[in-house]
Structure formats: structure tokens, C-alpha cells
Amino acid sequence: MFWEKKLVSWVDSIRDQTALPLRLELWNGQKLDFDRHAPKVTIRVPKATALGYLLKPSLFNLGKAYVEGEIEVEGRVNEIISVGNALARHSLKPEGKLARIVRSTHHSKKKDEDAIRYHYDVSNEFYRMWLDENMVYSCAYFEEGTESLGEAQLKKIDHILTKIRLRPGQTLLDIGCGWGALVMRAAEKFGAQCIGTTLSQNQFDLAKEHVARAGLAARVEIRLEDYRDTKGRFDRITSVGMFEHVGAKHLPDYFAKIHSLLADDGMAMNHGITTTDFNNGETAYGGGEFIDQYVFPHGELQHIGSVLRAMQEGGLEVYDVENLRRHYARTCSIWAENFEERAKQIRTLVDDRRFRIWRVYLAGCAYAFAQDWVSLYQVVCTKAGREPSGLPWSRRYMYLH
């Protein structure tokens, strides 16, 4: 009875602030609506012990309750995410919006390898269910805004390779190459000699198959290798969706490593997610805490200002910065839609817990990018004080095809 009275009081307090298309169904059959209209989202609470998650509805608590099966949620996933954020926003104190996340700052090779494999080695078939045909797992580039996901992913790769003025015969290193789409495009369309590295066994195996099937084995090498172990000198270096795993304290060393691998007249580009909060390591309503525990262990986001500073500390000079936040919001929305459409097939590939993790993660990311809680920047850089030969004075070359 105590819990029920407290819950009713909580519902009333939120209803007084805002109308939510939400219904709670309790274990005793009681139904509590947050609005007089028909609900779009229903949360079923099978036992009283689960109420603790609802009465302190951070995104971490709500996500954990859903993932661990403490509550059942019914509704369209975008509506679920919207309602969850509204609950967190209206229930937490103002200072609770941005909660400091205590993360491990020690990024050993073994710890990073384990984290990467946890995230990427679910199965290749799992990712194939909701990615594009080339299995590009990073922000797409919607040049016109009307492209399909596959078209936008190819445009993203071409946009990157055009930005760094990749030319036939040049050497390219792609740090965190995924399933090999960028290095294959760089070799096939731009005539480069490429090396791609990954720590994921699944990505390594399938990327090698993709390269061999395309007849590019003479021009593309895939390595199962930590970037810290890479040796050589390259005309061009790309890193797409990888530096989020490096760790805040290690970013200057990471960019210093890129500096050591880059030819004196070379160009590099870092494409990665950043937080839009100046107090780095914080995120709205506990969403980042959920991602850290369930999705990306030991991942850390930095503000773009901190990223640019770390680049400079690593000996790199920034030439161009482009914000693609809107593009990632759309990319994640499409991924989430694909996930929903193929839910039955995906459930045959993973257990229910992992299915729930990824369902709310993809839709939650789309919401976070749309709200400008996180962003995506492409940063083109060179060795400090070393101007690449033939680099135009304006950005116009990036858009001439």
C-alpha cells in the first residue's frame, strides 16, 4: 500500500506538469494514466520491487529495468524513448540532468580489445540485419537529404576521401576499419594502397572475405591490430567512429601516434562522436551511464573543443571542421527503423536481453543526436606547420565531383 500511494503521488505530480501518452499497469491490475487521451506507451510493472526504477526514472534506471526484464514496455520505440526522456526530465532535479559518470581512465590494450569485441563481435549477421548493404557502422552523409542509407554511406566515404585529397598510388591507413568499406572504396575508386586495422575478430574475418571477393587483395590489407602497434608511414590516415574508445586522457597520445604515422606532407581525418556538454564525461539524464554499462564499455566522449586541443597537443594542425550532427540523427533513426522491421529475425540471432539493449540504444541515440546532446565532427588535419602539397586555399574542392 505504501508503494502504491507513493506511485500515485508521483504520477499526479508529473501529470500536473505535462501530459504524457503513458499508462502504467501494475501487478494488481491497477492502471494509471498520465493523460486523458489513449496511451501510446504502456509500462507493465509485474512486481512491487520494480517500482524503485520508476520512482527515480533516470535513463539509466529505466533502461536497466527494461533490459533486465524488471518491466515490460509496449509501444513504438521512438515513442518509448520520448516518454522515457520526459519522465527523466520532469522527475529529476535540475542539477540531475547532467550526472557525472565515473569511468575507468586506464585503457590497456587488453581492456580495449575486450571492450571492442563485446560491442562488435555480437555476430556479423546481427549487424547485417540493420546496416546498409556495405555494413558501414558510422554516420552517413545525406548530401541532398533524400538518399537511401546505402547511398548516403557511400557519399560519406567519398566525402572523407575527397576531403583528404586521396590520389592514385598514395598509401592510406584506416584505423578502426570495420568491415572494410572505406579501404575498399579507397582502393577501387581512388586507386590507393590501403591498410585497415580492427580489434574485432568478426570484422577482421568478414572484411578479409569482402576484400578477396572484390579482387582487391593486392591493394587492401586488413589487420587484426591495435593502432598503438601499427608501424610505417602513410600519405593519408582516416579514423572513423573509433576515437570514442581511446579514453579522454589518452587522446593526445592517440593523435601523437597518428602524427608519427603520417607523412610530412600527409593529411589525416578524424570522424567521431563528441559530447555537446562542456563538462566532458557528462550526459543527459543518465543515458551515457546506460551506454557505458550495456553497450560501449569504457567509451568516453569529449567536447569538440577538447578534441581540437588534444590534436594540437599531439602535434597536429586542424585545417577543417564539419558538424554532421543532423546526419547522424537521421542515420540512427534509419538503423532503429530497420531494427524494428527485422525484429523477428534479430531475435533469432541474440538473446532477449541483448535484443532489448540494442533496441533502446539505437532509438535512444537518434533522440540524443536530434536533441544536440551529442554531435559528430569530421576534422581534417596535418602535421603542425607542414602544409600538404597541392592543398587548395578554399574548401570548394570538397564539393566538386
Query: Residue 157 pairs with which residues in a beta bridge?
Result: none
What's the pLDDT tens digit per position in 214-252? Answer: 999 999 999 999 999 999 999 999 999 999 999 889 999
What's the pLDDT tens digit per position in 80-101? Answer: 999 999 998 877 654 444 444 4
Residue 164: which of 194, 122, 125 has the closest Cα?
Answer: 194
Q: Are residues 60 and 195 in the same domain?
A: no
Cα(80)–Cα(336) distance, integer angstroms: 12
Q: Give residue for cell 558510422.
A: 138
Q: What CATH code is carried by the domain that includes residue 62? A: 3.30.1050
Predicted confidence (pLDDT) at residue 20 exceeds the cutoff of 50: yes
Q: Are residues 155 and 74 in the same domain?
A: no
What's the pLDDT tens digit per position in 237-246? Answer: 999 999 999 9
Q: What CATH code is carried by the domain that includes residue 153? A: 3.40.50.150
> In the 8-state DSSP scheme, what is residue 315?
T
Concatenating the DSSP letter of every residue in 198-241 gives ES-HHHHHHHHHHHHHTT-TTTEEEEE--GGG--S-EEEEEEES
Where does 68-148 have alpha helices with state H?
77-91, 109-120, 124-130
Instruction: Mark 50-64 as b/e (b = at least 16 C-beta within 10 Å).
Output: bbebbebbbbbbbbb
Q: Are residues 133 and 245 in the same domain?
A: yes
Domain extent for 391: 109-399
101, part of any domain: no
What's the pLDDT tens digit per position in 299-317? Answer: 889 999 999 999 999 999 9
Residue 190: which of 208, 170, 173, 209 has the closest Cα?
Answer: 170
What's the pLDDT tens digit per position in 113-157? Answer: 787 778 877 899 999 999 999 999 999 999 999 999 999 999 999
389, part of any domain: yes
Is 139 catalytic? The answer is no
The catalytic position among 177, 194, 332, 365 is: 365
103, part of any domain: no
Cα(174)–Cα(220) distance, integer angstroms: 11
- Domain end point (choices 67, 92, 117): 92
Q: Are residues 64 and 210 in the same domain?
A: no
How many structural domains compose the chain?
2
- Domain end point (choices 42, 60, 92): 92
pLDDT: which is higher, 382 or 109: 382
Q: Are residues 35 and 148 in the same domain?
A: no
Q: Are residues 77 and 209 in the same domain?
A: no
159, part of any domain: yes
Q: Are residues 6 and 145 in the same domain?
A: no
